Amino acid sequence: MNTVFEFEAIGTHWVVDIYEKLSSSKESFLLEKIQERIGVFDFHYSRFRKDSLVARMSEESGVYTLPDDAERMFEIYRIVYDLTRGKVTPLIGNTLVQAGYDKEYSLKVKTLSIPDTWDDVFEYVHPTLNMKKPYLLDFGAGGKGYLVDIIGEVIRSCGVEFFCVDAGGDMLYFAEDRKKLRVGLENPNNTSEVFGIAHIECGSICGSAGNRRQWGKYHHIIDPFTLTSPRDIVAVWTTSSSALVADILTTALSFVSPDVLSPYFTYEYFIVYADGTFIISSGFPIELFT
Amino acid sequence: MEPTQSSPKMGATAIILGLVIALLVAGSAYVFVKLPKKDEIIVPETPIVGNRETTGATPTSVLMYKDGSYTVLGKYNSPGGAQEIQITLTLKEGLIVDTTALPLATQPGPLNFQQKFSAGFKTLVVGKSIDQVTLDKVSGSSLTPKGFNDAVLKIQAQAKA
């Protein structure tokens, strides 16, 4: 019998499948470790709670010592920030709040402002982050994927090799004999339908679509320069060995073409445009319905 | 079961015929359909028969096409005479992952139709009901916090009031 953990955390539904037999004591130990690790991550990086590290940084400038996991996340964010010329940016936090995507989900739109640049706001040399001014950082583009990677590490550290971590559709998967996982790619305009099935051998698949977090003319992605939500893409999926990379690239693909990212990341993509046309990279493992 | 040469080719032919017929229907109401003969199909590599794992207990033997590009010359008669169009399918693990159409007509009329077809040739993605497919997982617009959904419902209710 396999073990399945299901719970709600960081505003989404988690399903962790363990494809190995665990003793009941190891089972509860692992679940506790997973939830504890999610709690720590949330405490550092969530802008949806008042007591988080990012909430403190939004109120006070100064020097902060960041946890070890910050290094990789900031490194990937910086690369994507540069490649998208600042469109994927952790500085979008305040703009999202102005659009109403705030702690209370007020969804009341105020006047939006263009965020400052990375170098104007902070300087980061691990583990030290110098906030030059108070600023609300947002790790919505890659944070969840990164947490999925981290939970994968937690599971491995307990000696488990074969598992699937699924955080609301963003996944990391490893199975014995590379048995493929069949992942339905949901049609955002009709969630009882799928566009196709991705056959995931191992690694991560992440998706992004605006439909479920949409209010007025905005959804969860806002272009920091035009202050509008991109509409020409209805859904994006990416695969990569890392969920952080897969996750953040779904947002990046709302702003730049795939070949901008290709020299820097090993990934595959499937992009569906508003008119129903699509592009698929040659290595994206899809069975598509057309 | 012995692998046969003809049936996979017939499978590819059926797909390609479908595409060619789609071209004809889309392109013009008054062209006459001439189905390509089997020997007009160019299949570069021999298809193989393999076992594909199924979720059921008994593995079933299914036909698999080798990965690669398959090109076919579509021929038909138009009021302007015999016309040709070249269609290429790229298969990966038995699935069509890419398609291209190359117009080969030389006269302006047929060429115009073929160009229009080639431009609109890439099929559009459509949904298939989740009930019709076997899935382990679903991925879509992730992160759907309950609070967010509640807020949207509240706003919708306000808008109606």
d(CA A166, CA A197): 16
- pLDDT computed for residue B127 by the predictor: 66
Domain layout of chain A by residue ranges: 161-288
Instruction: Reduce the DSSP state of residue A249 to 3 states and report it.
Output: helix
Residue B125 pLDDT exceeds 90 = no
Quote the mean pLDDT of chain B: 56
For residues A218 and B151, the answer to whether their CB atoms sit within 8 Å is no
Residues of A in contact with B143 (CB under 8 A): 10-12, 140, 144, 168, 213, 220
- In-domain check, residue B49: no
C-beta atoms surrounding B157 within 10 Å:
9
d(CA A53, CA A56): 5
Structure ipTM over 0.90, yes or no: no
- In-domain check, residue B149: yes
Closest-CA distance of chain B to residue A275, Å = 8
Between A107, A187, A207, which is nearest B142 by CB?
Answer: A207
Residues of A in contact with B146 (CB under 8 A): 8, 11
Residue A60 pLDDT exceeds 50 = yes
- pLDDT computed for residue B135 by the predictor: 80
Task: Render pLDDT for A156-204 as a digit per residue (tens, 0 to 9).
Answer: 999 999 999 999 889 999 998 889 999 999 888 887 888 999 999 999 9
Closest-CA distance of chain A to residue B53, Å = 9
Query: What's the mean pLDDT in B108-135?
Result: 70
- pLDDT computed for residue B117 by the predictor: 67
- pLDDT computed for residue A163 by the predictor: 97
Query: What's the mean pLDDT in A103-132?
Result: 91
For residues A151 and A165, the answer to whether their CB atoms sit within 8 Å is yes
Query: What's the mean pLDDT in B115-128?
Result: 65
Strand order in the sheet with A163-167: A3-9, A12-18, A163-167, A170-174, A203-209, A233-240, A268-273, A278-280
Cβ–Cβ contact B158 with A under 8 A: no
Between A8, A194, A206, which is nearest B128 by CB?
Answer: A194
Q: Which domain holds residue B130?
A: 68-159
Give the CATH number, domain containing residue B116: 3.90.1010.10
- In-domain check, residue B14: no
pLDDT higher for A52 or B74? A52
Q: What is the CATH number of domain A161-288?
A: 3.10.520.10
Q: How many structural domains comprise chain B?
A: 1
Residue A71 pLDDT exceeds 80 = yes
Closest-CA distance of chain A to residue B132, Å = 9
- pLDDT computed for residue B52 by the predictor: 34
CB contact under 8 A, A184 and B123: no
Per 3-state DSSP, chain A is made up of helix, strand and coil in percentages (nearest 5) of 30, 30, 40
Residues of A in contact with B59 (CB under 8 A): none
Q: Which phi-psi region, left, alpha or beta, contains residue A229 (left: φ > 0; alpha: ψ -120 to 50)?
A: beta
Between A169, A192, A210, which is nearest B130 by CB?
Answer: A192
A93: nearest Cα among A159, A35, A46, A146? A46
Closest-CA distance of chain A to residue B149, Å = 8
Portion of chain A with pLDDT greater than 70, in percent = 98
- pLDDT computed for residue A231 by the predictor: 73
